[in-house]
């Protein structure tokens, strides 16, 4: 977005305040500048040169969790989250505080295999400390190997279709077993599955830090790689990745991965639901946690619930919906807000009396697992695999 177009978008705001209704950061701190309306006002004043960047102004813009809860509420169609990304890109130039975080993020996303190997070596010293500080769940360990190992093609006889998996960093390096669960389901459903080599981080950690040029390079690489594949869908277990590659890339580089789909909607559409209901083994009572980028960003609310009900799982709705406080790097930078949001969600889950929490995002899974002492937290794909393939011991 060029500066003129940017200012024009900021000026579309009529200051009605509707965007504050579900804003988690405003909910935590009822200061105008902690909600979308206030943040957009600050950015407009910045663009009109009536405000200068200060640490406080930067803090207000970088404390947005980018959950997107405000996005669909604006009657003037202000592209709120895009405006915040753009504002961060402008402010980042002089933000010393985030330089360190930016360099760290760049190292991790640009050399992920090296970062993984270093983390593997250090985890026995580092992870107990990080867990004590509340950054990761207690007892969390890295897997023995990442999910991806060059190009992988999983074949079936007489395939009904061909799909690709966009792995994303969290599945690749933290939860590879979830990627295997998805592959097992797809193979059983008769799909040939390709996991291409060369995929890079979707770029969102860089974008949230205002590193727009670097994020664009990631977008271009991914579009090039997935654009070559002849597949009917590109599936990801991470809603942030789907939101990025499908909806944000066109705004960043003019082209996205249009075949990208969230797994719940794809599987609900393609799996034999009758067969699922017949072989469901373990009826359970769960609460489902809506990942922000899935519900607000991609508009997917009913499909995961329908899938769970179809496999015989009893879903109890919690009273208070909301962000778990993860927000990628947000949980590192704004620990108090992140932790308060997490505690609210854990309380809300506990009040239902359900024994298990299910979500559809590896980031939410990591965050909820930090505070959910007595209830296991699963990704929906794990329950689906158990029901559909009967192979995963939960
Ligand atoms: S994206 Fe989320 S945290 Fe940011 S202003 Fe909108 S509702 Fe608030
Ligand atoms: S809902 Fe839209 S128009 Fe209303 S204050 Fe928020 S950004 Fe401005």
In a domain, 209, yes or no: no
Q: Domain for residue 227, yes or no? A: no
Whose Cα sits closest to atom 6 in ligand 1?
70
Query: Ligand 2 pocket: which of 17, 20, 25, 72 to mutate (most atoms <8 Å of CB)?
Result: 17
Q: Which is the closest atom of ligand 1 to the Cα of 36? A: 5
pLDDT band of residue 58 (cuts 50, 70, 90) is: very high
CA–CA distance, 260 with 293 (Å, rounded to integer):
14
Tens-digit pLDDT profile for residues 241-289: 999 999 999 999 999 999 999 999 999 999 876 665 544 455 589 999 9
Nearest residue (by CA) to ligand 1, atom 8, is: 23
Last residue of a domain, one of 71, 95, 119: 95
Whether the per-residue pLDDT at 20 is higher than 90: the answer is yes
Q: How many domains does the chain have?
A: 2
Given 95, 127, 152, the domain boundary residue is 95
Asked if residue 52 belongs to a domain, the reply is yes
- How many angstroms is it from 69 CA to the middle of ligand 1? 6
pLDDT over 90 at 390, yes or no: no
- Final residue of a domain: which of 47, 77, 95? 95
Ligand 1 binding site (Cβ under 6 Å of any ligand atom)? 23-25, 35-36, 39, 64-70, 80-81
Asked, for residue 230, whether it belongs to a domain, the answer is no
Burial of 23 (0-12, 13-18, 19+ CB in 10 A): buried
Its domain, for residue 16, covers: 3-95
Residue 180 lies in a domain: no
Cα(364) to centroid(ligand 2), Å: 27
CATH number at residue 56: 1.10.1060.10
Strand order in the sheet with 377-379: 314-315, 285-289, 356-359, 377-379
Extract the tokens encoding 192: 């040939």
Q: Which residue has the higher pLDDT, 332 or 44?
A: 44
In a domain, 81, yes or no: yes
Q: Decide: 64 in ligand 2 pocket, CB within 6 A.
A: no
Does the beta carbon of 72 sit less than 6 angstroms from any atom of ligand 2? Answer: no
Query: Does 78 reside within a domain?
Result: yes
CA angle 251, 59, 297 (to 5 degrees): 35
The residue whose CB lies within 8 Å of the most ligand 2 atoms, and thus the one to mutate among 10, 19, 32, 82, is: 19
Report the CATH number at residue 371. 3.40.50.1860
């Amino acid at each position: 977005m060029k500066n003129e177009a940017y200012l024009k978008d900021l000026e579309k705001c009529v200051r009605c305040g509707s965007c504050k209704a579900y804003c988690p950061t405003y909910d935590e701190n009822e200061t105008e500048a902690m909600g979308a309306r206030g943040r957009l006002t600050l950015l407009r004043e910045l663009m009109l040169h009536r405000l200068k960047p200060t640490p406080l102004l930067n803090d207000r813009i970088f404390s947005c969790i980018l959950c997107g809860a405000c996005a669909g509420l604006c009657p003037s169609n202000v592209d709120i989250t895009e405006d915040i990304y753009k504002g961060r890109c402008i402010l980042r130039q002089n933000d010393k505080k985030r330089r360190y975080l930016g360099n760290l993020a760049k190292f991790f996303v640009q050399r992920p295999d090296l970062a993984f190997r270093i983390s593997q070596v250090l985890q026995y010293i580092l992870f107990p400390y990080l867990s004590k500080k509340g950054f990761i769940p207690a007892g969390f360990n890295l897997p023995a190997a990442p999910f991806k190992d060059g190009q992988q093609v999983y074949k079936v006889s007489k395939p009904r279709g061909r799909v690709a998996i966009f792995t994303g960093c969290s599945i690749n390096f933290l939860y590879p077993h979830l990627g295997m669960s998805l592959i097992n389901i797809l193979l059983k459903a008769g799909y040939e599955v390709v996991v291409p080599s060369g995929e890079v981080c979707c770029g969102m950690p860089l974008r949230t830090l205002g590193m727009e040029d670097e994020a664009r390079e990631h977008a271009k690489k991914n579009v090039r790689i997935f654009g070559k594949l002849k597949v009917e869908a590109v599936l990801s277990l991470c809603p942030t990745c789907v939101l990025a590659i499908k909806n944000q890339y066109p705004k960043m580089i003019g082209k996205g991965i249009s075949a990208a789909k969230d797994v719940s909607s794809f599987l609900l559409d393609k799996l034999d639901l009758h067969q699922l209901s017949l072989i469901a083994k373990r009826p359970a009572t769960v609460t489902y946690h809506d990942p922000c980028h899935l519900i607000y960003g991609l508009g997917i609310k009913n499909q995961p619930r329908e899938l769970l009900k179809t496999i015989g799982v009893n879903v109890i709705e919690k009273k208070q919906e909301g962000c778990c406080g993860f927000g990628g790097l947000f949980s590192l930078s704004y620990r108090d807000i992140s932790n308060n949001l997490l505690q609210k969600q854990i309380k809300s889950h506990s009040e239902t009396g359900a024994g298990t929490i299910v979500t559809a995002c590896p980031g939410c899974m990591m965050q909820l697992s930090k505070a959910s002492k007595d209830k296991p937290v699963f990704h929906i794909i794990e329950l689906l695999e158990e029901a559909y393939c009967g192979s995963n011991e939960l």
